[in-house]
Structure 1
Amino acid sequence: MTEQPADDLVVLETPADGVPDVTDNPEGLAAATAALVAGTGPVGIDTERAQGFRYSARAYLIQLRRAGAGTFLLDPIPFTSEDQPADFSDLADALADAEWVLHAATQDLPCLAEVKLLPRRLFDTELAARLLGMPRVALGTLIEEAFGLTLRKEHSAADWSRRPLPQEWLNYAALDVELLAELRDWLDDRLQAAGKAEWAAQEFAHLVERAGVPAPARTDPWRRTSGLHAVRTPRALAVVRELWQVRDQLASSMDRAPGKVLPDRAISALAARANPAEVRRLGPADLAAVPEFAWRSPSRYRARWLAALDRVAALTREQLPARQLAPDGPPPTRTWEMRNPEAAARWDAVRPAVVERAQQLDLPVENLISPDALRRLLWEPPELTAEDVDAALAAELVRPWQRELLVPLILERLTAS
């Protein structure tokens, strides 16, 4: 079960009930559902994805554990049909009355939403630890602090799309939910003692409410390409855009991580060759100058890369991308003094007070209010009444407990400035 390593930390080696078989057929799912329904207390849930290996962010394994039922390892892939994700809504309905315990729920909820396995109530152990002001909030460090046990994390970045899954990986996956319910109780006791239980309840309810809402599509996602800082001209940016789009289409069609098709650094390095203003066309010699394009995988698509370069050469100046993307919302606060001195004065008056209040509450400031919400409020503030400020914050999805703390502080600082 456990062993005592040299540094006196107890390593949790195997689950108390052993490693269960993988549930990968309807009969097994029905049995797992019945057992989980018959169990008691909260349901610990985790997922394993294949980030860095696959294009999709789907779950390749879902772990569930409940007292009196044990641990179940659910493989969603055999339940897919005609490229449609698995549908575990019946399991979700069966567990609707139970509280689900997740760690860093925002990472797991999107892939759980894809298979229609979403909670009606949840407890997020990472978020609870943040609200308590704990300096380390990873699952392993919380387990260590709460119970004096250490979880091994050597398979956290594994390719979970691999089949069959190795036994040691299944052991690792089962251990991730082994103590989630116990950790939930340990953290809840501390939330109650700190007077933060209601804050946590509102945060968890917000997560449930937003769990099935798809993330908005990012504008110009190609602008997140690593090394873009070295790409300076509009035509060079167009090279990044065209290569990125070709790579994305290939990666999506193969369900392969984009970086496995072509590294970001290769795109940026090739685009940088179009930095001189007089350079309109890149060609085979430029492609050959970037070593990654000669690698086995990228070299298969040489014709597509060259076609992308030809499309860039044919673009008119008006068709080239802007050097910078127009901001969605207020510009960076470092530019406010020049663009909007009044807004800069508001920021200088309110932001330090918000940081100080978060410190007094032993909270990360971003858990008191998101930076974006504060920027939007102060860039174009409402009328300086409690009702208007509260409504403006509510429109930015700031929770009631946060507004109760923030509205008097913001009014005080703005009326005094």
Structure 2
Amino acid sequence: MTIIERFHNVRSSDHFVLVAMCFAIFTDTFIYGMWTAILLAAYGAALLIGSPIIGFVSDRIHSRRSPLLFGYLTIAASTSIFMFGHSVSVFILARVCQGLSGAVIGVLGLAMIADRAHSETLGEFMAYGSLSFTWGMLTGPVFGGLLFDHFGIAGAFGLPIAMLAIDIILRVLMIEKRSAIVESPRQTEASIISEAGEESPLLGSRAHSCAPSLAFRHFFDTRLMIAILVEVTISSIFSAFEATLPLFTIETYQWAPTNAGLVFLGLTLPSFFSIPLAKYTRNRGWDRRKIVATELIFSSLPMAGLKWAEGNTLQHQILFISLVSFVGLFMTTSQAQTMAEVSDSVRQIEAKHGVDTTKSSGMGTGFAFCNMAIAMGQFIGPLIAGATKSELGWSAMTLILGTFSCGVGLFSLIVNY
């Protein structure tokens, strides 16, 4: 094998695509997190509108290269606008660009990870994608503030620009699955037919050559819609705690704002358990739908227990951190499994309607639904949490969130049984 062929194999390998897409997801959420306090509504609107369009288009073209490059350009545009803008209207435009980039990177990044994952590695691959999303959201505000304090506006934008440059290099090097089938050196017609056959059991690639693409109505499938409902729930709970935890610690424990911000580590650090959990459940042959439903049910216990963390003593603070960490454990691990479930649901829909995945796909549209679910949760969560905390208090808020999680978990368990 020549050096060129080896380099080609690296560029088209599953793990290289995984690294490239995880870095893209991390970059997008990192940059979003640095400016999350500015004009959230504009971002959410662009994300909700852009996601289904990007998903629909990406599923009907041979390569996702063009929409992905569009995503990088919109990130660069929003970063430049924030750097040089000086008016509210300009900042609104910047947030719209961020929302569009979130739609592109969120949809295509997860779809491309799912495309490359085999059935036995799907859970771990999606866990890495979920991990990238979570840590991008966490580290964005932290690094953004530190860089601005020490190096000013140039320092705050220098790191995102460098990350975007790495993103573009990785995307140029990366070879997509469908492109790899066409471009791979010395690949025979027989091997092309064989690879297509792996993705489309029962029918060969020639028989699928005229198979239609999936219509929008095909995605209103019970299994996929339950996964989307679960994603809305997880995103709502995450966003609710992100909006209320710092204020609660400042009011109750008199923590400084910096220490209050560190409480997010309790929500996000447990995300590292999502990878070994995905491997363990795969080896055991457990149904991930039942695992996610069970996690949602059990997460209601630490959420309801947070009412006993009101009180400014060391014991109350230890209890608070412990319970928040359990909430983070249940939410982050179930989110990774839910993203894998979205992929499984789409593959089931593709098989049901005889889609040739070497020519068309439903992953873009499936993860457009997932992206929209995350955006809806980011709107619903703070709204519910803010209203209930101000009107009914902290205990009622945590109890309502716990009941919501338990109810969706039970519903999912019953429907998927």
Give the TM-score normalised by structure 1. Answer: 0.31
Kindly indicate whether structure 1 or structure 2 has the higher relative contact order, using CA contacts under 8 Å at least 6 residues apart. Answer: 2
TM-score if structure 2 supplies the norm length? Answer: 0.31
Q: Which has the higher helix share?
A: 2
Q: Which has the higher strand share?
A: 1
Larger radius of gyration: 1
